[in-house]
Amino acid sequence: MEIIKTLSIDLETFSDIELSKCGVYKYVESPAFEILLFGVSVNGGEVAVYDLAQGEKIPEEIIAALSDNSVTKWAFNASFERVCLSKHLGLPSGEYLNPQSWRCSMIWSAYMGLPLSLAGAGAVIGLPEQKLKEGKELIKYFCVPCAPTKANGFRTRNLPKHAPEKWAQFKAYNKRDVEVEMSIQDKLRKFSVPDFVWEEYCLDQQINDRGIALDMAVVENAILFDENSREKLSAKMQELTSLDNPNSVQQMKQWLSENGLEVDSLGKKEVAAMLKTAPQPLAEVLSLRQQLAKSSVKKYQAMKNAVCSDGRAHGMFQFYGANRSGRWAGRLIQLQNLPQNHISDLEQARELVKSGNYTAMEMLYDDIPDTLSQLIRTAFVPKAGMKFIVSDFSAIEARVLSWLAREEWRLEVFKNGGDIYCASASQMFRVPVEKHGVNGHLRQKGKIAELALGYGGSVGALKAMGALEMGLSEDELQPLVDMWRNSNPNIVRFWWAVDRCVKQTVKERIPTETHVIKFNYQSGMLFITLPSGRRLSYVKPRMDINKFGSESVTYEGVGSTKKWERIESYGPKFVENIVQAISRDILCCAMQTLSDYRICGHVHDELIIECPLDTNVSEICEMMGRTPPFAKGLPLRADGYECDFYKKD
């Protein structure tokens, strides 16, 4: 056989564990797990399918190549193949094939702004060989347990012998998947992913392999507490309303209406607003409704589903999950959107849950669902004999935006360790503003303006950020927008410089550049090159007329509907992508700097590090806060704290 340089692989597997709920690391732990089909192309040659379910063996030289770091292994969503093959090859529990020599064509697709599914990516780039449509049916038939019925002899699994024709189709499907995956590589060959992005991917895989420990006593008791509390809240609700199903929106609206309160919606915000003025017993019913609607406690169930035999959750981070910026997306437990914790006695509340003391919990806390929700973070723990250091960048996006736009007064604030919200309010209102000091009440206005207005947002953005709930009046909003923009003229100029560059590049198909950002058009793609050398990709850009009658750039991507569609954009929106993308690159640099430490989680601008008890917080923060070579002059700062369980400081 020729010397193996590359393998393109696709697997079909069986397990009785649900992959979408539990993730691949737990999926392969089932005693029932097995690889059914191994589809492979060696060095780009003809695809061979090895039928492991019927006794065929993978050739020895291919087996050897799987753990040979000089052989590049390709797959679409390669982490699945890598983890499954680690198990198949009999690696000790918790050990996985080195990701260094693995490449993922799904990541390549994401880098190019394409969908994260093989069928989707193939369709967008117009491949002649499409993924076979009947695949879903065949996977359902062979890869997951089946319901025992009289007709199938009460079996719980379909084997090749039960449907030889389907099995032949399944092998053809496996072969076609490898072919489509190779065609995607072929189509994208002239747009290679930079080596440093593959290094970041390798680090991401190591973090997913490492996982993060869960305190299962907290998780399991929280689930019991929640069931207990729901039962009591529902009974109380039924007693007050006499409704058959007080959880029914229709029945609840009807009951409120009969009691003199007409409502259009029972959403979280609407219920909170009604609670301010509703008379008794309506207020009590609405409060119960609010407690029952707490869905964040479902996170505990997600933890229970995902935890592996080593007591850790693995595979929680999807590299390049947000393909407009290249940021990560959360998977399984979704660390990216955990509720904040504000209760002062967090440790005491956690201890009550951990020890299962529901009676004390009920006596001490009025709102059990809310308390459980605030305790979700605390279920993540370091392994025994270690601690967490949580370190995050201070106002990273505001810093990057100020640096790119060369808004000097802001850069001075950051260099001198000032508070950007106070400084912004001071700049806007032309008076000194100090946190908890002179004109301190204006800081909140500075904060909301900073959070809402950096990317071209206006009155609507302020409202979406909760400006009205914070006590600002409708009349104050437009003046606030004007004051912020007048205080930040270079940021406003930056938005429209980017807008001009994008339009000119798309219209005239010529390269343009502004504020260290480069734009170019190539083969039906708009590329934005960042200072790091990474490129953002926009598929099939063109000029269109928007609803206001002016011209705007549109491109294809996954929109707010989660479907592939045409998306409209303009300068400030592109600036948001650029700033978030550079912030992500800076986080990646920090992760590389700290890669010898045990990073076990990260969220946008924060790292969770599991480390020995004598590790110094300030040492970690200093390393994290180093400005990367590509961002000279950007004032960075990282702050951190240590804890025995994960929390927001």
pLDDT at 265 over 90: no
- Tokens 């001009």 sit on residue: 500
Render pLDDT for 450-462 as a digit per residue (tens, 0 to 9).
888 999 999 999 8
- pLDDT (0 to 100) of residue 127: 78
- pLDDT (0 to 100) of residue 304: 96
- Would you give the distance in Å from CA 74 to the centre of its chain? 24
Whether the Cβ atoms of residue 316 and residue 213 lie closer than 8 Å to each other: no
Helices 268-275 and 282-292 pack at an angle, to 10 degrees, of 150
The residue-averaged pLDDT of 476-485 equals 90
Residue 504 belongs to some domain of the structure: no
Residue 619 belongs to some domain of the structure: no
Same domain, 251 and 168: no
CB-based contacts of 221: which residues, under 8 Å, 6+ apart? 353, 354, 355, 356
> How open is the CA angle 451-453-454, to the nearest 5 degrees?
80
Render pLDDT for 548-557 as a digit per residue (tens, 0 to 9).
888 999 999 9
Same domain, 236 and 176: no
- Would you give the distance in Å from CA 562 to the centre of its chain? 14
pLDDT at 121 over 90: no
- pLDDT (0 to 100) of residue 132: 67
Share of the chain above pLDDT 70, in %: 99
- The residue from 447, 465, 487 where one domain ends is 487
Residue 583 belongs to some domain of the structure: no
Domain span at 149: 6-193
Report the largest interatomic distance among the alpha carbons of the chain, rounded to a whole angstrom: 82
Token couple for 401: 């935006």
pLDDT at 401 over 70: yes
Same domain, 421 and 278: no
In the chain, count H helices and then E strands: 26, 20
- The residue from 337, 357, 373 where one domain ends is 337
- pLDDT (0 to 100) of residue 254: 81
Whether the Cβ atoms of residue 304 and residue 22 lie closer than 8 Å to each other: no
Same domain, 118 and 72: yes
Which of 17, 609, 98 lies closest to 306 in space, CA to CA? 17
Question: How far apart, in whole angstroms, are the C-alpha atoms of residue 505 and residue 527?
Answer: 10
Same domain, 39 and 182: yes
Same domain, 186 and 223: no
Residue 355 belongs to some domain of the structure: no
pLDDT at 323 over 90: no
pLDDT at 266 over 90: no
pTM given for the model: 0.92
The residue-averaged pLDDT of 42-61 equals 97
Residue 524 belongs to some domain of the structure: no
* Of residues 510 and 123, more confidently modeled: 510
Give Cα separations from 261 to 233, 240, 249, 264, 587 (angstroms). Answer: 21, 16, 14, 10, 50
What residues pair up with 555 in beta bridges, in sequence order? 567
**Range with the poorest average pLDDT among 71-85, 269-283, 293-307:** 269-283
Render pLDDT for 500-512 as a digit per residue (tens, 0 to 9).
999 999 999 999 9
Same domain, 224 and 182: no
Burial class (CB in 10 A: 0-12, 13-18, 19+), 609: buried
pLDDT at 406 over 90: yes
Task: Label residue 129 by pLDDT band (50, 70, 90).
Answer: low
Top-confidence range, 188-192, 227-231, 492-496: 492-496
Task: Label residue 19 by pLDDT band (50, 70, 90).
Answer: very high
Same domain, 14 and 92: yes
Task: Label residue 130 by pLDDT band (50, 70, 90).
Answer: low
Alpha helix segments (H runs only) across 125-214: 135-142, 164-188, 195-210
Provide the number of structural domains found in the chain.
3
Which DSSP letter does residue 188 get? H
Pairing relation of β-strands 6-14 and 72-75?
parallel
Whether the Cβ atoms of residue 515 and residue 404 lie closer than 8 Å to each other: yes
pLDDT at 30 over 70: yes
pLDDT at 64 over 70: yes
